[in-house]
Amino acid sequence: MFQPGIPYHETGPFQSHRTFLPDDQYGVALDNLVKGCTDILLLSPDTTRLFLGKRCVQPQPDWWFLGGRIFPGETPVESCRRLLVRELGLDIASVERFRPVCCQAFAFAMREQEPKHHGTADVQFCFRVRLEDEEEMRKAVLDEKEYCDGKWVEPSEVLEGNYHPALRYAVACMLATEAYDRLEECEAKGGGDNDEEIVRLTREFIKKSREAKQVLERTDYKLDSKELDYATTVNTKF
């Protein structure tokens, strides 16, 4: 949660040979591979709210991140940039605006491709992106093929509400990351008077980091999609 970036190491001159896979072939691939995804927590300009999309398709038909699969040859940030254009019509060029938040692993019992009950497994790189102004906020329009709704919420609402543990964990890690950034900024400026500010910010970072772990102690989340007639719960472990 205090990693400055997610490095992309290209050993030799890699060239992608990605091709479109028909659903039946893609289904076989999903049965045998864990796919890499980049997901984004989109923040309002004042950082007090974040944007969530309510998915209307499997594997997670509920409030969720924005994002999707990484293509071969993409850096994690390049993947985020492409997905923001695809899902929201937002073109964010600056690499510095993408801040790593956390990494997680998922296994879903269902998926959109047949046979749907075979499910799918993912590894996620989650990033935070702060929008710069109201114009960028107005541009945020979800793809209706995948999302049936969208909303701006305060981080506390996610932490305290009926949201997937992965989403709550990412939000808690985001808050811990912001605490670390404040600590790093203070140290870069000289540490404050008698290092008292460094001590205070260090304690704040440790507290937020501990709270991120405690988020996963809650096990009361229930996914209940009336649109898909699907309900289930989540088992979280390290």
Question: What's the confidence (pLDDT) of residue 134?
Answer: 86
Which whole number is the average pLDDT over 80-92? 91
Helix (H) or strand (E) holding 231: strand 230-233
**Residue located via tokens 């296994």:** 107
> What's the pLDDT band for 167 if we cut at 50, 70, 90?
very high
**Residue located via tokens 């990412």:** 170
Pairing of strands 35-43, 120-130: parallel
CA atoms of 131 and 138, how far apart (whole Å): 10
- Is 193 a residue whose pLDDT tops 70? no
The pLDDT > 90 percentage for the chain reads: 83
The pLDDT > 70 percentage for the chain reads: 97
Which whole number is the average pLDDT over 11-18? 97
- For the stretch 135-149, pLDDT in tens is 888 878 888 888 999
Of the listed ranges 17-26, 129-138, 192-201, the least confidently predicted one is 192-201
- Is 122 a residue whose pLDDT tops 90? yes
